[in-house]
Amino acid sequence: MKTHLILTAAAVALALSGCGSKTETPADTTSVAGDETAAPAAATPSAMLASSTIAANLAAAPDHKSLAAAVTQAGLGQTLSETGPFTLFAPTDAAFAQVPPVTRDGWMRPAQKDVLAGVLKYHVVPGKLTAADLAASIAEGGGKAVLKTADGQDLTATKSGDAILLTSASGNKATVTQADAAQSNGVVHVVDAVLLPKM
């Protein structure tokens, strides 16, 4: 038991060191506030189908292989196939690549299934929140909106220019780079970092 706690603490520490705070909005960030100069339709998040569930779309998405594998390993595929609705902040493969390999590999071990599930549930908010909903909540909250994730922790949304910036309970940040990929059981917003809950 003591060894398990030490390994978990080490994994979290490594993850936090590898997923540092982002303070700048990437130049290729697509506006989520209806900007007419947004990226062309070809840049839709992973060409996801509105008629498919979040789980099915992740399994077929070329830029979400790491997330799809993690969802399967954590046993969350069934949950993300249910009616929902859910809002998923989906880290890309490039976002997962920012996490130190030892941490990523550790998350995928059967002994760390609960830790991995906690990290993934932190990216899910019950209900369907579009980019417009998020922007409205941020405005109503005086510049920030506190979202309750599926694991019961808070996730803070703010604006960074036209983009939505998410700050995790552990302090790391992710920017929504592509928003509003409609799913049959909710909506997906693509993010550029893996958000880390408090463990």
In terms of Cα–Cα distance, which of 96, 99, 88 is closest to 64? 96
Mean pLDDT for the chain overall? 79
* Residue 57 pLDDT greater than 70, yes or no: yes
Query: pLDDT band at 1, cuts 50/70/90?
Result: very low
pLDDT at 51: 84
When pLDDT is averaged across residues 165-187 and rounded to a whole number, the result is 93
Tokens found for residue 199: 């463990």
* Residue 146 pLDDT greater than 80, yes or no: yes
Q: What angle do CA 181, 182, 187 make, to 5 degrees?
A: 80
pLDDT at 32: 35
Torsion of CA 119, 123, 125, 131, to 10 degrees: 170
When pLDDT is averaged across residues 53-61 and rounded to a whole number, the result is 90
pLDDT at 45: 52
More confident residue, 116 or 17: 116
Q: Percentage of residues in the chain with pLDDT exceeding 70? A: 76
Order of strands across the sheet with 173-183? 124-126, 86-91, 186-191, 173-183, 163-167, 154-160, 144-148
* Structural domains in the chain plus CATH codes: 2-18+46-191 (2.30.180.10)
- Condensed to tens digits (0 to 9), the pLDDT of residues 6-41 reads 333 333 333 333 343 333 333 333 333 333 333 333
When pLDDT is averaged across residues 146-157 and rounded to a whole number, the result is 95
* Residue 94 pLDDT greater than 70, yes or no: yes
Q: At what angle do helices 113-121 and 65-74 cross, to 10 degrees?
A: 120
* Residue 157 pLDDT greater than 90, yes or no: yes
